[in-house]
Amino acid sequence: MPNEIMITSDEEGVGTDVVRVGVLGTGAIAQRLHLPGYVDHPNAEVTAVCDVEEEKARAVADEFGAQDHFTDYRAMVESGTVDAVSVCLPNHMHEESVTAALDHDLYVLCEKPMATSVAEANRMIAAADESEGVLMIDQSERFAPVYQKAIDLIESGLIGDIQTIRARFSHSGPEGWAPRSTWFTDADASGGGAMVDIGIHNADLVLSLVGDVDEVMAYTDTLASDAEVEDTAVANLRLGNGGLGTFEVSWTTDPEKIETQVVGTEGVLTVDKVAGTIAVDLSDERGRVEEIPLPEYRSPIARFVDAVVAGEDPPVTGEEGRDALELVMAIYRAADRREPVAVPLEGGGE
Ligand SMILES: NC(=O)c1ccc[n+]([C@@H]2O[C@H](COP(=O)([O-])OP(=O)(O)OC[C@H]3O[C@@H](n4cnc5c(N)ncnc54)[C@H](O)[C@@H]3O)[C@@H](O)[C@H]2O)c1
């Protein structure tokens, strides 16, 4: 890992790598997951936060013990007080803030969706390539123990060659998550509706479980609100291995439904993420496997710090974040044009 991490000493005098972290945007995800995640990590220290709302920045700095607060992200990344940043800003600000941080050779954990277009995502990857820093995208759902286990089981060949995947991701929408944040339904700030917001998770899960998607056909609609962006999307997928898939996303279910089923030549694997269960029905006399031990949960924030300290590649690369976004954008394009759309997108997703 190219950057030098500050070395401090703990009480016993043993050297410890401490990553000084700045959190950019102090809204819902920053307060609920990023800041507590860094505070809990023995190798991280929150030294700065930044929010355009100064009162909020100050209050969050006090609550999480950050020495500095900023209202301008450029001032934070230039300050010399942080080695790493979490980007927890509205989606349309990801490219400029991530690029600024990478230009200062910082380690960057950027929230999903990586950006609001594939072209932006490609520029972020180029900035990471030029930087001494590192870029990780927070495709957090794949780290749920049920999905970590499902990825391992499929890779092990337990259910044989993949024939189909059925992937569904839905909850009641952003109002319950961040009631004051109107940007989620403003297409200029968010890049879209339910598809960019949570379809990006569904896309990352499909790609992580069964590999590439070659082509999509899709519909999007706004079924349950008067928002200008879609709250529902359905798509059919042609997988890279020749298999097929169905893909459903919506902001219309309470409680949330996060369910994935993969059919292989040797069996059927079913994940219910909300229930925390995974089951495998094997197609021969081996029957059904229900008591599948799950790995311990390690959050993406902890994994980011672990990777920085160990000098390892980030657990979700910019390219993987871009690929999930490209699938989302292909679904939008297919729905708009009412025709099949190939992935990667023609024209590079401009
Ligand atoms: N991984 C997940 O499952 C998950 C869940 C929720 C949100 N997110 C992502 O996290 C990001 C933030 O979402 P959120 O729910 O925290 O939204 P939010 O609206 O609660 O927080 C955004 C914060 O950014 C601040 N901000 C806006 N413009 C700014 C600027 N120019 N400079 C500094 N601060 C500015 C706002 O004041 C606000 O505090 C989004 O990209 C979202 O998609 C990811």
- Residues 184-206: tens digit of each pLDDT: 999 999 999 999 999 999 999 99
Q: What is the pLDDT of residue 2?
A: 46
Q: Which residues, 6+ apart, have CB-to-CB distance to 126 below 8 Å? A: none
Closest-CA residue, ligand 1 atom 19, reads 181
Give the pLDDT confidence of 223-261 residue by residue, as tens digits.
998 899 999 999 999 999 999 999 999 999 999 999 999
* Contact between residue 258 and residue 274 where contact means Cβ atoms under 8 Å apart: yes
Closest-CA residue, ligand 1 atom 21, reads 27
Helical spans, DSSP H, in the chain = 28-29, 35-40, 54-64, 73-78, 94-103, 118-130, 145-156, 174-177, 187-190, 194, 200-210, 300-310, 318-337
> Does 112 sit in the ligand 1 pocket, CB within 6 Å?
yes
Instruction: Give the Cβ contact number of residue 289 at 10 Å.
Output: 15
Q: What is the pLDDT of residue 49?
A: 98
Place of tokens 């798509």: 235
> Does 37 sit in the ligand 1 pocket, CB within 6 Å?
no
Which residues, in sequence order, are bridge partners of residue 238?
215, 244
Q: What is the pLDDT of residue 5?
A: 64
Does pLDDT of 9 surpass 80? no
Domain boundaries, the chain: 7-138+302-316, 142-296
Closest-CA residue, ligand 1 atom 25, reads 25
> Does 25 sit in the ligand 1 pocket, CB within 6 Å?
yes
Both tokens of 303, joined, read 């994994």
In this prediction, residue 99 has a pLDDT band, given cuts at 50, 70 and 90, of very high
Q: What is the pLDDT of residue 347?
A: 82
In this prediction, residue 124 has a pLDDT band, given cuts at 50, 70 and 90, of very high
Q: What is the pLDDT of residue 350?
A: 65
Helix, strand or coil, per DSSP, at residue 194:
helix
The closest alpha carbon to 115, from 99, 102, 131, 134, belongs to: 99
Does pLDDT of 6 surpass 60? no
> Does 30 sit in the ligand 1 pocket, CB within 6 Å?
yes
Residue type, 130: E
Kindly calculate the radius of gyration of the chain based on its CA atoms and give it in whole angstroms: 21
In whole angstroms, how far apart are CA 297 and each of 144, 170, 208, 255?
7, 22, 17, 22
Average pLDDT over residues 42-67: 98
Residue type, 133: G
> Does 26 sit in the ligand 1 pocket, CB within 6 Å?
yes
Q: Strand pairing of 107-111 and 84-87?
A: parallel
The closest alpha carbon to 5, from 38, 44, 37, belongs to: 44
Does pLDDT of 15 surpass 80? no
> Does 29 sit in the ligand 1 pocket, CB within 6 Å?
yes
Class of domain 7-138+302-316: alpha beta
Does pLDDT of 7 surpass 70? no
> Does 89 sit in the ligand 1 pocket, CB within 6 Å?
yes
Place of tokens 């961040």: 178
Q: What is the pLDDT of residue 176?
A: 87
Average pLDDT over residues 108-128: 98
pTM of the model: 0.96
* Contact between residue 272 and residue 285 where contact means Cβ atoms under 8 Å apart: no
Which residues, in sequence order, are bridge partners of residue 134?
107
- What is the average pLDDT score of the chain? 94
Helices 94-103 + 118-130 axis angle, to 10: 10
Place of tokens 């319950």: 176
Give the pLDDT confidence of 70-88 residue by residue, as tens digits.
999 999 999 999 999 999 9
To test ligand 1's pocket by mutation, which of 111, 184, 251, 258 has the most ligand atoms within 8 angstroms of CB? 111
What distance in Å separates the CA atoms of residue 61 and residue 347, rounded to the nearest whole number? 43
Give the pLDDT confidence of 155-178 residue by residue, as tens digits.
999 999 999 999 999 999 999 899
142-296 has which CATH code?
Answer: 3.30.360.10
> Does 111 sit in the ligand 1 pocket, CB within 6 Å?
yes
Percent of the chain with pLDDT over 70: 95
Question: Which atom from ligand 1 is nearest to the alpha carbon of 25?
Answer: 24
Q: What is the pLDDT of residue 13?
A: 39
In whole angstroms, how far apart are CA 75 and each of 4, 19, 104, 124?
21, 19, 11, 20
> Does 27 sit in the ligand 1 pocket, CB within 6 Å?
yes
Helix, strand or coil, per DSSP, at residue 348:
helix
Give the pLDDT confidence of 289-340 residue by residue, as tens digits.
777 999 999 999 999 999 999 999 999 999 999 999 999 999 999 999 999 9
Q: What is the pLDDT of residue 207?
A: 98
Question: Which atom from ligand 1 is nearest to the alpha carbon of 56?
Answer: 39
Q: What is the pLDDT of residue 291?
A: 79
Q: What is the pLDDT of residue 349?
A: 66
Whether 142-296 and 7-138+302-316 are alike in CATH topology: the answer is no
